[in-house]
Amino acid sequence: MDDLLLVEEGKATNLTENLYASIKKKLTHYSWWLEVILYTIFVLGSQSIATILGRLYYDKGGNSKWMATLVINAGFPILLPIYFFSRNQESSDTKQVSSATLATVYISFGIFLAAVSMLYAVGLWILPVSIYTLICASQLGFNALFSFFLNSQKLTPFILNSIALLTISSMLLVFAPDDSLDSSTDNNKYALGFLCTLGASAGYALLLALTQLYFQKIIKTTTFRVVVDMTICQCAVATCVVLIALFVSGEWKTMHREMREFELGSVSYVMILVWTAVFWQVFAIGVIALIYKVSSLFSNVICALGFPVVLVLAVFILNDKMNGVKVISLVLAILGLVSYLYQHYLDDLKAKAKSIDVNQASEPLSKP
């Protein structure tokens, strides 16, 4: 009788443990998706607003490329409260990394980020937002290639199709009619804007792939603290580099006159720069968080999803012109994004099927 009671108690205990494990697994899964959705909203919303504000700065009288570059990274102090709040999340893996190694990574990434930001600022200065955002969509294709070499990302037929469509989408804009540009923009200036934006897209894609490699090979941890560390440190370095360039170039001398002559007024001038800086920091934290939650390629996909949103906003807010070439380019870019998202959907189904097979194989072992 006692043995029977012990067996029944063992079954009840196993049932409770299995139920608890199942609930915990589901909560973890839902929590993961909620975080990914939140970071996705950060990226899509902040990227759209910051890009529109950046173009508005140029349209209403702003002319300093170094100032436009500065605001992309200078908003990092708003993340300091988050940094101190997350300090108790530091893991033992992080402590094992030497200060020299961390300093080298942060300084290198910061300098590289400053260069990429400058290319973005020049591209946005020359090109209409509609063309600028469509060229930026090529970032996904660049990241797929960099992830293949640096992060062991598989290049499936759907991803290759996505790269091809996004590449064609960007190259079509070389043949955009001249009436889509400002009257003061000649072919050489347009080519410069095109190359700067394309170079910035490639550079930022490489930076994201290197960031994922840094998380996997050096830090070897997945806490929110390392995301905040990376964002603040590389943006701080980039800000210092751009500030030095701003003073060396002499553009700082024209800031007061530029603010005074700004079409929307001095207060609007300051507010546009401040809010541009704030939204770019929200974008940065969202992008890097998506890298460690999913991958650099997925983070790039979310960035690319925001480009059609920016394009539509530019048409309605900034009165950007749309023409046949841009429409075709936009359709190809969307098809390229859908192709990659479908591959991600297939990968998710495969992972779920593998998880089910593992659970089914382990069930007989857990029976008393």
Contact 93, 296 (CB under 8 A): no
* Listed residue (103, 113, 111, 329) closest to 229, CA to CA: 103
Q: How many CB atoms lie within 10 A of CB 221?
A: 18
Is the confidence at residue 94, as pLDDT, over 70? no
What are the backbone dihedrals phi and psi of residue 339, each rounded to the nearest 5 degrees, phi first?
Answer: -60, -45
* Domain spans in the chain, listed from the N-terminal domain onward: 45-366
Question: Which residue carries 């989408």 as its tokens?
Answer: 169
Q: For the chain, what's the residue count?
A: 368
List pLDDT tens digits, range 23-79: 555 556 578 788 888 888 888 889 889 999 999 999 888 888 999 999 999 998 988
pLDDT the model gives residue 93: 44
User: Does 2 score more than 70 pLDDT?
Assistant: no
pLDDT at 103 over 70: yes
Query: What is the band of 130 on the pLDDT scale with cuts at 50, 70, 90?
Result: confident
Closest CA to 120 of 183, 51, 206, 42: 51
Q: Return the pLDDT at 154.
A: 77
In this prediction, residue 90 has a pLDDT band, given cuts at 50, 70 and 90, of low
pLDDT tens-digit series, residues 169-225:
767 766 655 455 555 556 788 889 989 999 999 998 899 889 888 888 888 765 777
Q: What is the pTM of this model?
A: 0.78
